[in-house]
Amino acid sequence: MAVAHRKLLQSRQVGSLLFMLCLSVGSAATIRYSVAEEMESGSFVANVAKDLGLEVGRLAARGARLVSEGNKLHFRLHRKTGDLFVKEKLDRESLCGKADPCVLHFEIVLMEPLQSFRVEVRVFDINDNAPIFLNKEPLLKIPESTPLGSRFPLQSAQDLDVGLNGLQNYTLSRNAYFHLHTRFRSHGPKYAELVLDKPLDREDQPEVNLTITAVDGGSPPKSGIAHIRVEVLDVNDHVPQFSRLVYRAQVLENSANGSLVATVSATDLDEGSNKEITYSLAQNPEAVLQTFQVDSHTGEIRLRGPLDFEAIETYDIDIQATDGGGLSAHSKVLVEVVDVNDNPPEVTVSSVSSPLPEDSPLQTVVALFSIRDRDVRVGGKITCFLRGDLPFAVKPTFRNSYSLVTDRGLDREEVSGYNITVVAMDTGPPSLFTETVIEVLIADINDNPPVFQEDSYILTVRENNSPAIFIGKVHAEDLDLGENAQVTYTLLPPQSGDLSVFAYISINSDNGKLYALRTMDYEAIQNFQFVVKATDGGFLSLSSQVTVRVVVLDDNDNRPMILYPLQNGTLPCNDLVPRSADAGFLVTKVVAVDGDSGQNSWLSYHLLKATDPGLFSVQQQNGEIRTLRQISERDPMIQKLIILVQDHGQPALSTTASLNILLVDGFSEPYLQFRDPSKNPTRVNPSTKYLVISLAVLSFLFLLSVTVIFGIHIYQKVKYREKFTVQEHFYDDCNFPNNLVQRGANGSLSQPCPYEMCSATGTSNSEFRFLKRFMPNFPFPHGTGETKTEAGSRLPPDCNRNRSQGSEDHGQVPDNSM
C-alpha cells in the first residue's frame, strides 16, 4: 500500500493521474470506494453498474442519480455506462481537515422500482502540503548559567497532510551548543526541543543563530525551515516552577466565548523582576491559538473561539511561564470537549415520485429520505412521524433510512396535491426536532388524444434547396395535463407503402417542424405525401394522424440539351446546301429540349456566330435555319455556324451547337467530310477532271469483271443441273431486300446493285482509296442443292450505287469502309 501511494505521488509531478480503487461491500446496501485527493475533474472512480450487478444501460433506464448527505456532490454518474467520475478536484484537507480517515457519503437512487444504495468514498491523502512554521524567526532567551542538558521546547511545524505524509522529523543545523530532541504529543503534531550540550558564555558569544528544518514522510519529502535566534542572558538562578506538570479540564462544546477553561500557576524563588512571571501560549498548533487564550498575569485560560465536538474532541495546550530574568518553564493543559445535544436531526430527501397517479396501489413508494444526527453519543434514539391526517405513512427501510408510502386510496378530483410534513425528533436532552415538507402532486389519467389544427397540410419547397431546410410545421393539441399532454410527432409511410419518402423528409419529434433531408429535384419528383402521427406521453398513449402533401417547385437548373445536330465532341455535323438555293431555303433545324418545366423550359434560338452572318438566319421559336439571300459563287464552300439555345428561366441558362454547311453545285457530287480550315491550314486543291476519269475507268473495269464472273457462274450452274437432272429455278423473282443484285431471265442485271464510294479524308487531293462491295450474305433457299460460301462466291457482281434523298441526290453514301 505504501509503495502504491509513493508511485501515485511521483506520477503527480509529471501531470499524470493515478487513482486508487478499493471496492468492498460492507453490507448488502453499502458500497465503498477509495480515491486519492487532487484527482482532476472527470477522473474515473469505478463502474457502479458492475458493482451493483446491473446490466449496462439499466442505470439510465431507471433514472439513476446521486444524492449527497450534505449540500454538495463531489462525484457524477454516467448513466449509460455506469461509470462514476470525480466531479471536481478533491482536496482532502478542505473536506476533512486533520480527520483520518476522510470519508464522503452519498446515495445512488434508482426508479421503477424506487431503490437507494449507500456509497462511501474514502479520500486518501497525498503529500501536497509542506510543513511550515508559523513563526519563521523565533527568539529564545537563555541565561548563560543554564545547566547542561536543559531543554527548550520549540514551536511545532504545521503540516496539513496526515499519516505518513504528515510531519515526521526535525533536523538542526550544525552548531557547538545544542542538539535536537523530537518529542510526541498525545494529541497534536510532533515538536522539537533544544538540548544544551555546551555551557553558554554571554561574554564569549552573546547570540547563537540556528536553523531548524521540519521534514514530512512523503515521497519525495517536503520540508519547511525556521531561523532560531538564541539570545544569551545574564545569570538568573531560578526558573519558574508550575504547581502541576499536567493540567486537565473539561468544557462543554456549546460554551460561549470567554468561558473559563482552566487556571495555571507558577512560582519563582528569585527576587525582584526575576520573580515576576508572565504566562503565554508557547509553541502550539494554530487550532489551539484560534480557540484558546491565556491571561499573561493570572494564568486563566479562556475560550476565544467556538468548540465543536464533532470536529475536535481533545486539545493539548502548551503553557509557558517566563520570569523577569527570561527564564521559563513549560506545562501542559489537556482540555476535553464534552458533547452536548446541540444539533437537530438532519433530513435528506433522496427521491420523490411526483406527480403520483391517482390509481396507485397501496404501499406505493412516494419518497425516500434519510435522517442523520451529528450528536451520536447524546442525541439518543430518533423518531420519525407525519403531521396531520394524510393518506401516507412512514416506513423504515434500513438504518436511518425511510420510505414514504401510500396508506389509503388517492382521488385527484378530491385533492390534487399534498404538502407532507415529515418530523424527525431525537430524545435529547434537550429534545430537538426538524420538519421537512415533501410536495406530492396527484396526476390525472390519459383520456384525450392529440388533435391536429388542420384536417390536412400542403407544404411547398423549391428544388435545389439546402439539405435540412425548414419547410413547414404541424401542430396538435392535447387537453390532458403533464406528461399526458406532451405530444411526440413521428412519420408514417403513405398508404401505398412507399418507404422512400423517409429519404426526403424528417420531423422534429418535439415541436412538429418538418425539414427536407436532401436536395429536391423537380425533374425527378414533383410532389409526395406522407402521414404524421401525433402521440401523447401517457402510459397508455393515444394518437391521431394527419396527411401532409409536399409540392416541389421548379427551379431553372437544367441547361438546354441539343438533340440535333449531334454534339459528340468530334467533327461538327455537316449539312449540304445547293448553291442554287433561293432566299428562305430550309437548310436544317436545330432541335433542343430542356429538363425544366413551365417558363424555365421555353427555348429560343439565336445565331451567335457565323462565317457570313448575312447568309443564314435562325428562327427564334423553332430553330429552323434558312438562307437570307441567294448564294453566290464568291461565298466560301464551308459555312460554320454556332447556334445559341437559351431558356427563359431566371437566371437564363444556355448552350451552343456547332454545325458546318457545305455549299455544293449539285447533289451529284459525292458527300465528303471536309476538315475545318481553321484546324488544317493546308490548301485543298481537288482535281475534278482526274477524279471523273478515274471513276469512269474503274467503273468500266469493274463492270466487265463482274459480267464475266457472273456468266461463268451461270454456265457452271446450268451444267450442274443438267448433270443431276435437277430442274430448279434460281430466284424467279427478286427475293433479296433493298437493292441487292437480281438475275433476270436473259441473264442480265435487272436492278442495280449498291456500292460504296469511300474517299480518304484529310488529304490534299481527296483521291479515291478503294471501292468496296456493299453486299451482305443471305442463306440460299432449301432444295437448291447449293450451300452458302464466303461473301461474293455465290452472289452477282456489285455495281455503283448512289443514295438519293427525296427528289435530290446529295451524293452521300453510308460509311462501311473496312
Q: Pick the more confident residue, 423 or 724.
A: 423
Domain spanning 451-553, CATH class: mainly beta
Bridge partners of residue 520, in order along the sequence:
none
Q: Where are the alpha helices (DSSP H) in 459-555?
A: none
Ranking 334-338, 416-420, 432-436, 523-527 by mean pLDDT, the lowest is: 523-527
CA distance linking residue 759 with residue 662, whole number of Å: 17
Cβ atoms of residues 675 and 761 within 8 Å:
yes
Cβ atoms of residues 229 and 207 within 8 Å:
yes
Q: What's the pLDDT score for residue 666?
A: 65
CA 674 to chain centre: 65
Looking at the predicted structure, is the pLDDT value of residue 355 above 70? Answer: yes
Q: Pick the more confident residue, 668 or 294.
A: 294
pLDDT band at 756 (very low <50, low <70, confident <90, very high): very low
pLDDT band at 762 (very low <50, low <70, confident <90, very high): very low
* Percent share of the chain, pLDDT over 70: 79
One-letter amino acid of 796: P
pLDDT band at 749 (very low <50, low <70, confident <90, very high): very low
346-442 CATH, one of 2.160.10.10, 3.40.50.360, 2.60.40.60, 3.60.21.10: 2.60.40.60
Q: What's the pLDDT score for residue 89?
A: 86
Q: What are the backbone dihedrals phi and psi of residue 152, each rounded to the nearest 5 degrees, phi first?
A: -130, 105
Looking at the predicted structure, is the pLDDT value of residue 354 above 70? Answer: yes
Residue with cell 401525433: 534
Query: In this predicted model, what pLDDT tens digit does every residue of 792-804 receive, in sequence order?
Result: 333 333 323 333 3
pLDDT band at 178 (very low <50, low <70, confident <90, very high): very high
CA atoms within 13 A on the CB side of 365: 19
Q: DSSP state, 274?
A: G
Q: What's the pLDDT score for residue 470?
A: 93
Looking at the predicted structure, is the pLDDT value of residue 736 above 60? Answer: no
> Regarding the domain delimited by 241-338, which CATH topology (the fold level of the hierarchy) does it fall under?
Immunoglobulin-like (2.60.40)
Q: DSSP state, 121?
A: E
Q: What's the pLDDT score for residue 175?
A: 93
For the whole model, what pTM was predicted?
0.39
> What cell numbers appear for 177 in the block?
551548543
Residue with cell 413551365: 598
CA distance linking residue 119 with residue 110, whole number of Å: 13
CA distance linking residue 813 with residue 802, whole number of Å: 7
Looking at the predicted structure, is the pLDDT value of residue 26 above 90? Answer: no
Helix (H, G, I), strand (E, B) or coil at 424: strand
Domain spanning 139-233, CATH class: mainly beta
> What cell numbers appear for 651 in the block?
437566371
User: What's the maximum distance between 2 C-alpha atoms anywhere in the chain?
Assistant: 179
CA distance linking residue 489 with residue 132, whole number of Å: 66
Q: DSSP state, 324?
A: T
Q: Where are the alpha helices (DSSP H) in 255-315?
A: 286-291
Cβ atoms of residues 70 and 103 within 8 Å:
no
pLDDT band at 570 (very low <50, low <70, confident <90, very high): low
CA distance linking residue 628 with residue 708, whole number of Å: 54
Q: How many helices (H) and strands (E) does the chain have?
A: 6, 52
Nearest 5°: CA angle at 817, between 813 and 818?
Answer: 165
Peptide bond into 240 cis (omega under 30): no
Q: What's the pLDDT score for residue 19?
A: 33
Torsion over CA of 68, 69, 70 and 72, rounded to 10 degrees?
Answer: 0
Nearest 5°: CA angle at 549, between 543 and 550?
Answer: 125
Domain 561-664 has CATH 3.90.1200.10: no
CA distance linking residue 5 with residue 9, whole number of Å: 6
Looking at the predicted structure, is the pLDDT value of residue 746 above 80? Answer: no
Q: Distances from the Cα of 3 to the Cαs of 10, 19, 177, 218, 574, in angstroms?
A: 11, 14, 39, 11, 95
CA 29 to chain centre: 36
> What cell numbers appear for 375 in the block?
450528536
pLDDT band at 423 (very low <50, low <70, confident <90, very high): very high
Looking at the predicted structure, is the pLDDT value of residue 187 above 80? Answer: no
Looking at the predicted structure, is the pLDDT value of residue 443 above 50? Answer: yes
Nearest to 389 by CA among 434, 420, 358: 420
Q: Kindly list the domain boundaries of the chain, sorted by start residue.
A: 30-124, 139-233, 241-338, 346-442, 451-553, 561-664
Ranking 19-28, 67-76, 198-207, 441-450 by mean pLDDT, the lowest is: 19-28
- The strand pair at 328-338 and 246-252 is best described as parallel
Q: Which helix (H) or strand (E) holds 713?
A: helix 688-723
CA distance linking residue 795 with residue 777, whole number of Å: 8
Cα first-last separation, the chain: 95
Mean pLDDT value of segment 420-445? 90
Mean pLDDT value of segment 34-43? 87
Q: What's the pLDDT score for residue 436?
A: 94
Looking at the predicted structure, is the pLDDT value of residue 556 above 70? Answer: yes
Helix (H, G, I), strand (E, B) or coil at 439: strand
Helix (H, G, I), strand (E, B) or coil at 661: strand
Instruction: Report the sign of the C-alpha dihedral through residues 193, 197, 199, 204, in that order.
Output: negative
Query: In this predicted model, what pLDDT tens digit does every residue of 446-478 receive, in sequence order?
Result: 877 899 999 999 999 988 888 889 999 999 998
> What cell numbers appear for 479 in the block?
387537453
- The strand pair at 586-589 and 624-627 is best described as antiparallel
Ranking 225-229, 333-337, 395-399 by mean pLDDT, the lowest is: 395-399
Cβ atoms of residues 123 and 8 within 8 Å:
no
Query: In this predicted model, what pLDDT tens digit does every residue of 57-104 receive, in sequence order?
Result: 888 888 888 888 766 888 888 888 888 898 888 888 888 877 788 888
Query: In this predicted model, what pLDDT tens digit does every residue of 680-689 receive, in sequence order?
Result: 444 444 556 7
Q: What's the pLDDT score for residue 380?
A: 65
Q: What's the pLDDT score for residue 391?
A: 94
Cβ atoms of residues 345 and 426 within 8 Å:
yes
* Percent share of the chain, pLDDT over 90: 27
Confirm whether 346-442 and 561-664 share one CATH topology: yes
pLDDT band at 614 (very low <50, low <70, confident <90, very high): confident
Which range among 186-195, 662-671, 750-759 has the greatest average pLDDT?
A: 186-195
pLDDT band at 379 (very low <50, low <70, confident <90, very high): low
Residue 805's Cβ-count burial label (10 Å; 0-12, 13-18, 19+) is: exposed
For the chain, give the mean pLDDT.
78
Residue with cell 435540412: 468
Q: Pick the more confident residue, 378 or 621.
A: 621
Q: Pick the more confident residue, 317 or 615.
A: 317
Strand runs (DSSP E) across 96-245, as ranges?
Answer: 102-110, 115-124, 139-143, 151-153, 167-172, 178-183, 191-196, 207-216, 223-233, 241-242
Q: Which helix (H) or strand (E) holds 528?
A: strand 527-535
Residue 227's Cβ-count burial label (10 Å; 0-12, 13-18, 19+) is: middle
5 C-beta neighbours (distance < 10 Å), count: 20
Domain 30-124 in CATH: superfamily? Answer: Cadherins (2.60.40.60)
Q: What's the pLDDT score for residue 781?
A: 37
Looking at the predicted structure, is the pLDDT value of residue 123 above 80? Answer: yes
Mean pLDDT value of segment 225-237? 85
Which range among 19-28, 541-550, 623-632, 763-772 has the greatest average pLDDT?
A: 541-550
Per residue in 560-595, is it b (16+ CB within 10 Å) or e — as a string? bebeebebeeeebbbbbbeeeeeeebebbebebebb
